[in-house]
Amino acid sequence: MSQQLIFTNDVAGAIDNWARTAAPTRLFVIADTNTASLVLPQLEEKSSAIAEAAKIIVGAGEGFKNITTLAEIWSELCSGGATRSAAVINIGGGVITDMGGFAAATFKRGIRFVNVPTTLLAAVDAAVGGKTGIDFRGLKNEIGAFAPADAVIISTRFFRTLPATELRSGYAEMLKHALLAGDGSFDRLISVEPDSLTDDELLELVKQSVLVKKDVVTKDPTEKGLRKALNLGHTPGHAFESLALEKGSPVPHGYAVAWGLVVDLVLSHLKLGFPSALLRQVAQYVLDTYNVPDINCTDYPRIVEYMRHDKKNAGDGTISFTLLSAPGQVDVSCTAEPDEITAALDIFRDLMHI
Ligand code: GLY
């Protein structure tokens, strides 16, 4: 998958450089209403490409990541005279990079697009690696395509306009990448509070993190095997996220992933011998940074049920996990039985003092 990754805190300059080289006949910016007021004005001042581009502004939030908004985007591309040589710049979080990428990938069978993620979560995950799509019939990313952005311009400048919970949410995916890489970057990540890093320090850590994802995605772009490694933390994470939603108190995706990482490392310890000292260290960092989910043992059947319905399962009734025998030693084809999962949840609650 060829996808240019540009790490810079001069986003306007990077966009103008890209536009000069790519020379699209028409340029369209897709953003949501929040980004349109918080980020677009500064970019329009500094980037002539952005100033001159046609703007497609959509509603903010996961609720707008649907076929209706997608049709509006296609419609504005049509009315704006987009041809195959036009291009789109998606500026926003994961909803915008996913949906804008899918709109571009499907318009006239595909026009070029660039992602400019404005959240840490999108920078280290959604914007990179070519997954695009929309939600459908209540299911996340049910309709989509693998379509790499021409370029992803990654900066840490926009993250300060967001609440601290957003930054921490993205940081959880960085913890995941560091555990998958097993290269020592994990020690650096857990030696600091995400909010205390400067933009440049964070950019360096983001770069290391994104390169871990890029390496995995390059080897397995369409998730036939190795890319499943990126699901570390996500089987229990999605279950925590869904349960919180069901209870009427939603949690940020990254918080659920952070808790899910601890559960997956408990399972990794039980099934593959992941070192207990490191498991405790991760649990302590997650407890200090993300607090704890609102669960007790009466929630276990719901959690297992949510895991059973995870779309990553093989469809034969087993529950799939990506686990580690050590940092950097990944097994993407693990399964666990309900009694193993509840044992892991008991240990998770002990570690998290729930
Ligand atoms: N978010 C996991 C992946 O891109 O495969």
* 329-347 residue pLDDT tens: 999 999 999 999 999 999 9
Q: Ligand 1 pocket, 129 CB below 6 A?
A: yes
CA of 55 to the centre of ligand 1 (A): 28
As a whole number, mean pLDDT of residues 31-55 equals 97
CA of 175 to the centre of ligand 1 (A): 14
Q: Ligand 1 pocket, 162 CB below 6 A?
A: no
**Where residue 354 falls among pLDDT bands split at 50, 70, 90?**
very high
pLDDT higher than 80, residue 174: yes
pLDDT higher than 80, residue 82: yes
**Where residue 315 falls among pLDDT bands split at 50, 70, 90?**
confident
Quick one: pLDDT at residue 195? 87
Ligand 1 atom nearest residue 173's Cα: 1
pLDDT higher than 90, residue 316: no
From 213, 218, 220, 332, the mutation candidate for ligand 1 (largest count of ligand atoms within 8 A of CB) is 213
CA of 231 to the centre of ligand 1 (A): 7
Ligand 1 atom nearest residue 125's Cα: 1
Ligand 1 atom nearest residue 216's Cα: 5
CA of 227 to the centre of ligand 1 (A): 7
Question: Both tokens of residue 22?
Answer: 């790519």
Taking CA atoms, 59 is separated from 22, 99, 199, in Å, by 29, 12, 28
Instruction: Give percent above pLDDT 70 in the chain.
Output: 100
Would you name the residues annotated as active-site residues? Answer: 109, 131, 173, 213, 223, 227, 231, 234, 238, 253
Q: Ligand 1 pocket, 227 CB below 6 A?
A: yes
The 8-class DSSP code of residue 133 comes to E
Taking CA atoms, 148 is separated from 86, 97, 176, 350, in Å, by 16, 11, 22, 42
pLDDT higher than 90, residue 320: yes
- Which residue's CA is the closest to the ligand 1 atom numbered 1? 125
Q: Ligand 1 pocket, 29 CB below 6 A?
A: no
Helix (H, G, I), strand (E, B) or coil at 6: strand
Model confidence pTM above 0.75: yes
Q: Ligand 1 pocket, 125 CB below 6 A?
A: yes
CA of 312 to the centre of ligand 1 (A): 12
CA of 125 to the centre of ligand 1 (A): 6
Q: Ligand 1 pocket, 230 CB below 6 A?
A: yes
Helix, strand, coil percentages, rounded to 5, for the chain: 55, 15, 25
- Which residue's CA is the closest to the ligand 1 atom numbered 2? 230
Quick one: pLDDT at residue 313? 81
Quick one: pLDDT at residue 140? 86
pLDDT higher than 90, residue 351: yes
DSSP of 21-89, one letter per residue?
HH--SSEEEEEEHHHHHHTHHHHHHH-HHHHHSEEEEE--SGGG-SHHHHHHHHHHHHHTT--TT-EEE
Lowest mean pLDDT among 27-31, 55-59, 130-134, 309-313: 309-313
pLDDT higher than 80, residue 35: yes
**Where residue 309 falls among pLDDT bands split at 50, 70, 90?**
confident
As a whole number, mean pLDDT of residues 156-180 equals 93
- Kindly report, residue by residue over 187-238, the tens digit of the pLDDT: 999 999 888 899 999 999 999 999 999 999 999 999 999 999 999 999 999 9
Quick one: pLDDT at residue 178? 97
Quick one: pLDDT at residue 129? 96
Q: Ligand 1 pocket, 332 CB below 6 A?
A: no
As a whole number, mean pLDDT of residues 157-185 equals 93
Mean pLDDT of the chain: 95
Tokens 């009427």, residue located: 248
> What is the distance of C-alpha 124 from the center of its chain?
6
Quick one: pLDDT at residue 1? 61
